[in-house]
């Protein structure tokens, strides 16, 4: 995935995702934020939380980080933008239950060994009302069709010398399928969008020629974008806001006083 992001379509994709994440994380508040995978994308750079981690399944920097990690057996290092890098498995995150306020997952589910287990682990570490941001390739797009065609040609022996257009590892998860997974885990999707409608071209020159397709695709065929973005919130049943609870309690205590006062007025009228 890292080498593909250095290509022309990879840079085009990174530009769209970086802009989308910058707007989404700017309004997320709390103390602890985590990005799973894709360290080439700084998905937390517009966020102001004091503790920010980037977790990958490979150790990418040898320089140690001065602050202590979440656990003693987890190695850490520093990344550009003052981000702490964690070397850990996505299905066994080194964080306590309900300890993170924000989790960003740029293409993490597509490259995970078990995407269901990874999502359950993210649900575990998120606090109630915590925010989850996900980006992924859309299989129902021009890029997805190109990828399936390349794989079919390789299986029949017609495309052995030609590499796949998109990264090889992982399977693409459909937009509506992922929304169903999130709903089953108790997440509420607040926003969703698509991007990158240009054809599957390898050269920057041809991608620039088809730049006119982005505004048209956003208006006329939005669900056919090459990549999607989901903004979800973890909901917990049975929770009640303190402010609303206090207001309801005041109303219950005030009601008997009004009734008692009304009865005293009626008694005075009868005695007269």
Q: What is residue 185's predicted lDDT score, i.e. its pLDDT?
A: 94
Q: How far is CA 172 from CA 18, 115, 132, 138, 218, in A?
A: 20, 11, 19, 7, 21
Q: What is residue 63's predicted lDDT score, i.e. its pLDDT?
A: 43
- With tokens 């309004």, the residue in question is 27
Long-range contacts of 40-44 (CB under 8 A, 24+ apart): 40/2, 40/5, 40/14, 41/5, 41/14, 41/17, 41/106, 42/18, 42/80, 42/81, 42/83, 43/17, 43/18, 43/104, 43/106, 43/133, 44/81, 44/83, 44/102, 44/104
Residue with the bigger pLDDT between 2 and 214: it is 214
- With tokens 């992924």, the residue in question is 136
Q: What is residue 212's predicted lDDT score, i.e. its pLDDT?
A: 93
The pair of structure tokens assigned to 28 is 């997320």
Helix (H, G, I), strand (E, B) or coil at 127: strand
What is the tens place of the pLDDT at every residue in 78-95?
Answer: 544 556 888 888 888 999
- In the DSSP assignment, the letter for residue 5 is G
Helix (H, G, I), strand (E, B) or coil at 132: strand
pTM of this prediction?
0.77
Residues 6+ apart with CB under 8 A from 171: 110
Q: What is residue 255's predicted lDDT score, i.e. its pLDDT?
A: 45
What is the tens place of the pLDDT at every residue in 22-61?
Answer: 999 998 889 999 999 888 899 999 999 999 999 987 655 4
The pair of structure tokens assigned to 222 is 């939005």
% of residues, the chain, pLDDT over 70 = 74
The structural domains of the chain, with segments of one domain joined by +, span 4-239, 242-272
The pair of structure tokens assigned to 223 is 């669900």
Instruction: Judge whether 184 and 172 are in contact, CB under 8 Å.
Output: no
What is the tens place of the pLDDT at every residue in 99-119?
Answer: 999 999 999 998 888 899 999
Q: What is residue 147's predicted lDDT score, i.e. its pLDDT?
A: 85
| Fold classified for 4-239 | Rossmann fold (3.40.50)
Indicate the pLDDT class of residue 165, thresholds 50, 70 and 90: confident
Q: What is residue 135's predicted lDDT score, i.e. its pLDDT?
A: 95
Q: What is residue 269's predicted lDDT score, i.e. its pLDDT?
A: 55
What is the tens place of the pLDDT at every residue in 217-236?
Answer: 888 888 889 999 999 999 98
Q: What is residue 56's predicted lDDT score, i.e. its pLDDT?
A: 87
Q: What is residue 169's predicted lDDT score, i.e. its pLDDT?
A: 58
């Amino acid at each position: 995935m890292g080498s593909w992001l250095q290509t022309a379509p990879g840079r085009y994709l990174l530009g769209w995702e970086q802009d989308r994440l910058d707007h989404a994380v700017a309004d997320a508040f709390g103390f602890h934020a985590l990005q799973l995978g894709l360290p080439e994308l700084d998905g937390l750079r517009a966020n102001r939380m004091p503790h920010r981690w980037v977790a990958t399944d490979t150790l990418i920097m040898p320089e140690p980080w001065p602050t202590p990690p979440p656990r003693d057996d987890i190695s850490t290092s520093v990344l550009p933008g003052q981000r702490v890098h964690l070397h850990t498995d996505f299905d066994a995150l080194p964080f306590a239950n309900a300890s993170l306020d924000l989790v960003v997952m740029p293409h993490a589910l597509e490259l995970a060994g078990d995407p269901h287990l990874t999502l359950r682990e993210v649900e575990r570490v998120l606090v109630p009302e915590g925010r989850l941001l996900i980006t992924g390739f859309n299989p129902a797009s021009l890029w997805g069709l190109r990828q399936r065609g390349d794989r079919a040609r390789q299986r029949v022996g017609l495309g052995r010398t030609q590499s796949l257009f998109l990264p090889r590892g992982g399977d693409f998860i459909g937009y509506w399928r992922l929304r169903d997974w999130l709903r089953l885990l108790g997440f509420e999707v607040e926003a969703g969008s698509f991007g990158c409608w240009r054809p599957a071209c390898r050269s920057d020159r041809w991608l620039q020629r088809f730049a006119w397709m982005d505004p048209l695709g956003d208006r006329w065929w939005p669900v056919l974008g090459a990549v999607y973005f989901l903004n979800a919130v973890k909901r917990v049943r049975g929770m009640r806001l303190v402010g609303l609870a206090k207001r309801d309690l005041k109303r219950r205590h005030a009601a008997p006083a009004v009734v008692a006062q009304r009865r005293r007025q009626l008694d005075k009228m009868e005695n007269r």
